[in-house]
Chain A
Amino acid sequence: MSKYKLSYYWLCQFVGWSAFILVYIFFYLTLRTRETPYFYHVLVAEAVIGFLVTHVMRFFILKYKFVEKPINEQVFYIFFISIFFSLIYATIGATVEQVLEIEPERQRSYTLLNKIMRASMGCFSFILIWNLIYFAYHYIVKTRQNQFDKIRLETLVKELELKTIKSHINPHFIFNALNSIRALIDENPNRARNAITELSNILRSSMQAEKLETVPFEKELSIVKDYLALEYIRFEDRLKIEYQIDEDTLDQPVPPMMLQTLVENAIKHGIGRQINGGLVKVISDFRDNFHELVVQNTGYLNGHINGDGFGLPSTKNRLQLLFGEKANFEIKQVNPDLVEARILIPVEIK
């Protein structure tokens, strides 16, 4: 980046001062009434000196960070350094011309101070133009950088929001669970105490989920078990729970809270809508080269599945980000009253 910018500066310097020379030659050849002795010598000398003086000026601009000052201060600095450096430019120019004896004839009788003052008038406009271009360029670059940063910040905020939504437990569940636990305190104090432990486990892992990319399946499964145990308190006989877990899959890495979200949806959209309740079945197994996680529930798929609640595309994106293109997620109606959500994670062969 800085290398690119540097070359941009040199390019502008060469092009600018070459243009200076060419424009003067053009007007000299087209408009002159009589030949000026040493015209080309003077012109090249002025261009080379201008080149060097502006380069030194740039060194000061960079050193005192004029470009980063507020815009109203910048205007002041532009004028100040333009005056200062045009005097330097004129001094060097006049001295060099006098020493080399290449100055126009009519100027030879003037004093050096007089020559410097005359030359500085012309130099001031060149230096000012140089500065205006330099500051304007940096102003535009800075503004664009700011805009770019702002957009990036906005997307970052959105991403973070999305993550928070993804990993947070549904508040409806938390308050319902608390309500059930309050009722249990009199009815079955032991169960109530266990329920509080289960709820704490779930809350704790939902907070940790934001930090971790993957967790061992065993950990995720214990959260799902706690979660379903709590839902069982609410639904009682209306909820049947089955597990079919291949023990070898317990060490496999899975994204935290993903299976939990699927089970939560199975309850919310499946069991919660059936007057007589139904079954939630969690399956974990190896199939071909995949670790297969399945959540089955009694219920019916309908249109709203693709809406905000399920986050179908985000689940798939998250899987593919973590495990590559082969990872997959799908949800479908497997028979008239059974919905199945299936996660496929490719297994790394060691």
Chain B
Amino acid sequence: MIKAIIIDDERLARSELRKLLTDFPEIEVVAEASNAGEGVEKIENINPDLVFLDIQMPGKTGFDMLAELDKAPHVIFTTAYDEYALKAFEVNALDYLLKPVEPKRLADAIQKLHLQEDREQGPMVPVNFNRSILNENDQVFVKDGERCWFVKLSDIRLFESVGNYAKVYFGPNKPLILKSLNALEERLDEKTFFRANRKHIVNLRLIDKIEPYFNGGLLLELKGGEKIEVSRRQTVKFKEMMSL
């Protein structure tokens, strides 16, 4: 079974989608939410496999809601007609449905979801014992102005603290997310993500070179070319981890 949540501010729109989904017995709609706040709450409690998300909602848009989540579920966006959202979908290759939803399009979107699951060996495999720690296959939703991405944690090489924000480095992009480095550190798997110093968390699997540095510290060069200094205190920890 695929656990799905429908988030839309209109009751009729939710009930219409629910009705359409009865043709897909593998999808079970376990909850509904009518705004972004409720949506975040339900996603965090239920941890669904799939979310149908409306873009235009009172208070916060669907994009804003996703950016708030630590871990983004698989999302199929729904919208009636919104030039801004349509542009975002096309630019960022996000999965979306136009309301009123065409059953054929819905079938295609669900088919695509199955293919993706097969590639990831299915979401039903319990990888996480502790749900509060993010797995490296988990994805986060990152929004930077008009551009947005679903990024797998394993593709992120560096988090850099910038005031209250964190700059996320992946591929050629480095957008900002509204999260503190300390909060991120708590949620990230320490086997993969290492706090190099006060301002940086690096992905250990994306380190290119390690060099000794002043005062017995280390200098890490990442796959993207960024050079990160490891503080003396953290160097001890780093060496311990690597020698294992």
Contacts and interface: CB of A to CB of B under 8 A. Distances in A.
Interface of A: 171-176, 178-180, 182-184, 186-187, 233-236, 272-275, 277
Given A172-B82, A175-B98, A186-B19, A275 B58 contact: yes
Contacts of B59: 273-275
Main secondary structure, interface of B, reads loop
Q: When A and B form their complex, which 4 residue pairs have the shortest distance between CB atoms, in order from nearest? A: A175-B80, A183-B16, A183-B12, A176-B80
Given A273-B59, A275-B35, A179 B19 contact: no
Main secondary structure, interface of A, reads helix
B122 interface: no
Contact of A175 (B11, B37, B58, B100): B100
19 contacts: A172-B81, A174-B80, A175-B98, A175-B100, A178-B99, A179-B16, A179-B80, A179-B99, A179-B100, A180-B12, A182-B100, A183-B15, A186-B19, A187-B12, A235-B10, A236-B12, A272-B58, A273-B59, A275-B58
A186 B80 CA distance: 20
Nearest to A178: B100
Contacts of A175: 80-81, 98-100
Contacts, number: 62
A275 B81 contact: no
Interface residues of B, number: 19
A308 to B, nearest CB: 11
Nearest to A278: B58
Interface in B1-46: 10-13, 15-16, 19, 35, 37
Nearest to B99: A179
Given A175-B98, A275-B37, A180 B13 contact: yes
Contacts of B35: 275
A172 B80 CA distance: 5
Interface in B81-112: 81-82, 98-101
A171 B10 contact: no
Contacts of B231: none
A227 to B, nearest CB: 16
Given A180-B13, A234-B12, A272 B100 contact: no
B56 interface: yes
Contacts of A233: 12
Given A172-B80, A187-B15, A236-B12, 16 more contacts: A171-B80, A175-B81, A176-B80, A178-B99, A179-B12, A179-B80, A183-B15, A183-B16, A183-B19, A233-B12, A234-B10, A234-B12, A234-B13, A235-B10, A272-B58, A275-B58
